Amino acid sequence: MTKLNNFQTHTSEDIRLLEDAVSEERCFGKDEDVIREDQTTNHVYLVVKGWACRYRTNSLGKMQILNYQIPGDFCNLHTTLTQKIEYSIGTLVPSVIAYITHDKIDDIYEHHSRLTRSFNWLALNEISILQEWLINVGSRPAHQRLAHLLCELLIRTRAAGLTEDHRFCLPLTQAQLGESMGITHIHTNRVMKRLRAEGMITFQDRIVEVMDWQRLKEYADFDARYLHLDNAEPSLIRDL
Amino acid sequence: MTKLNNFQTHTSEDIRLLEDAVSEERCFGKDEDVIREDQTTNHVYLVVKGWACRYRTNSLGKMQILNYQIPGDFCNLHTTLTQKIEYSIGTLVPSVIAYITHDKIDDIYEHHSRLTRSFNWLALNEISILQEWLINVGSRPAHQRLAHLLCELLIRTRAAGLTEDHRFCLPLTQAQLGESMGITHIHTNRVMKRLRAEGMITFQDRIVEVMDWQRLKEYADFDARYLHLDNAEPSLIRDL
DNA sequence: CTACACTATTAACTTAGGTTATTATTTCTC
DNA sequence: GAGAAATAATAACCTAAGTTAATAGTGTAG
């Protein structure tokens, strides 16, 4: 709900409605799949705690990560109309996932226009982030891609209330970072070294600290508007 | 409407509703912008005739195409919640674009559940295609990217009723093809040559002919499910 | 506390794809 | 329909990023 409040304020009824829609909460360990590509489901998954990602593996085992989900993010809100799922959803750290059945979501779309608007906002964000990732992978050199990804994740973790300053926990291996940017883990390492050498970030024990936000932002050609946080608490995203 | 019927059948009321929602139809020449990034609008654009694309240009002038729109495709259905638009929409050939105001779309979301479902299906497709493009650019070598893109466009043009066999009109320059795959036009040319040399396609006078669909499909690692045509007229997509 | 398995780091070498440049072709424009 | 401007097609050369391999550090199951 923290997240949805970045779009519009919700009544206690909205909140209860969403909470009641959750049929179950399940705990997962690190690196477990919530669902595998080509399985069927009539649930939508919401990350309550932890980190998850949507990804696909091709016939040769090469993996492409499609988005990350942090607390408050739906993993597959857009799949309500189809049972078949075209990609896998996996956890990156031990996580708690809420299950919501398609009926409940349909019911909200049918009868609750305020929450419907919020869901549409989430769909808009999903598309915007995908577009930005496509731009990242399709048109930026590797060092900019990493810088851009780090900018996004800093803002998203802040907007989710996971951090308040310029450090955040990034529980990803360099291989996984590479799989979201279309580069190998070797090259991710090279590029990470470069960002560190330039004094823009540090990254130790899963903690990223952005030392020079302004410079990182420019370096990455980062423009936060695609995250649509115009209505968020200004304090959450101050200095950004 | 041809397109929406690939998802579910619509009543004459649905059809009238959509037609009435169109406030205006405008004609554009080749390579004209319908709207530029960072402009504001309260319209959603629907391609009636022609080809359009959504794209973004970075500060150095490098362009990334985010999707193509053929007749029946909305260019920006997901932007109903925001006036600011984060990318440009341009035509590739002389085109007719229908304008629908945000209110009309909101009204449909609020009162017409059948059309709302269809819009949600369009949003699902938008996300699926973006994901597939991200996978394309992020994890496939250039020759596979082109083959994959051609597979997608053949099926989409067929589903839109623009062609019935294995040829279709592709009104794109090699530069534009490259801009959708994250490669240069020089390399697009190299890779196109290779597909031709292998006897999979021909491409002359803007007409692509797929000579060996099975082989192209395998070569591209193409799986049409992401286009969600399960409910389409079987004849439209036979042999695919 | 040890052993095994990830993960990070770096080096050496290779290659897909980028850059620049040149010459046909088309395609617009006046 | 001549001239100008895109577009396509190739070649030669270069570089960002991939590949393979080796080492060191970290985490963790027993």
Give the 3-state secondary structure of chain B.
CCCHHHCCCCCHHHHHHHHHHEEEEEEECCCCEEECCCCECCEEEEEEECCEEEEEECCCCCEEEEEEECCCCECCHHHCCCCECCCEEEECCCEEEEEEEHHHHHHHHHHCHHHHHHHHHHHHHHHHHHHHHHHHHHHCCHHHHHHHHHHHHHHHHHHCCCCCCCEEECCCCHHHHHHHHCCCHHHHHHHHHHHHHCCCEEEECCEEEECCHHHHHHHHCCCHHHHCCCCCCHHHHCCC
Cβ-Cβ contacts under 8 Å, B56 against chain A: 131, 135
CA distances A132 to A162, A222, B62, Å, are 22, 10, 14
CB atoms A109 and B116 under 8 Å: yes
Question: What would the pLDDT profile of B23-33 be if each residue is shown by its tens digit?
Answer: 899 999 999 99
Report chain A residues whose CB lies below 8 A from the CB of B146: none
Q: Looking at the complex, does the CB of residue B27 fall below 8 Å from at least one CB of chain A?
A: no
Burial of residue A190 (CB within 10 Å: 0-12, 13-18, 19+) is: middle
Full pLDDT tens readout for chain A, 240 residues: 667 888 887 777 778 888 889 989 999 999 999 999 989 999 999 999 999 999 999 988 899 999 999 999 999 999 999 989 999 999 999 999 999 999 999 999 888 888 999 999 999 999 999 999 999 999 999 999 999 999 999 999 999 999 889 999 999 999 999 999 999 999 999 999 999 999 999 998 899 999 999 999 999 999 999 999 987 777 666 666
CA of B171 to C1' of C26 (A): 14
For A138-162, write each residue's pLDDT tens digit.
999 999 999 999 999 999 999 999 9
Spacing of A93 CA from C4 C1' in Å: 22
Assign residue B50 a region (left: φ > 0; alpha: ψ between -120 and 50; beta: otherwise). Answer: left
Chain centroid to Cα B64, Å, comes to: 14
Q: Are B30 and B186 in contact (CB under 8 A)?
A: no
Chain D bases having any atom below 7 Å from a protein CB? 6-12, 16-21, 27
Q: How many CB atoms lie within 10 A of CB B12?
A: 7
Report whether A137 contacts B134 (CB < 8 A): yes
Q: Does B202 touch chain A (CB under 8 A)?
A: no
Q: What are phi and psi of A129, to 5 degrees?
A: -70, -40
In chain A, positions 52-91, which contact chain B (CB-CB < 8 Å)? 56, 58-59, 62-64, 66, 78-82, 84, 86-87
What is the spatial distance between Cα B240 and Cα B229, in angstroms, rounded to a whole number?
A: 11
Q: Which residue has the tokens 């638009």?
A: B85
Contact between A52 and A92 under an 8 Å Cβ cutoff? The reply is: yes
Closest partner residue to B228 among A82, A138, A225, by Cβ? Answer: A82
Contact B131 A81 (CB under 8 A): no
CA B46 vs. chain centroid, Å, equals 11
Say yes or no: A135 contacts chain B, CB-CB below 8 A.
yes
> B53 versus B61: which is more confidently predicted?
B53
Rounded average pLDDT over B178-186: 98
> How far is the alpha carbon of B81 from chain A, nearest alpha carbon, in Å?
7
Distance CA A50, CA B237 (A): 42
Cα torsion angle, A214, A215, A221, A222, sign: negative
Sort out which chain B residues have CB atoms less than 8 A from A80's CB and list them: 120
Instruction: State how far residue B157 is from chain A, nearest Cα, in angstroms.
Output: 22
Is A138 close to B181, i.e. CB distance below 8 A? yes
Structure tokens at A119: 């869901």
* B106: its two tokens: 């909101």
Other C-beta atoms lying within 10 Å of the C-beta of residue B221 = 17
The arithmetic mean of pLDDT across residues B104-112, rounded, is 91
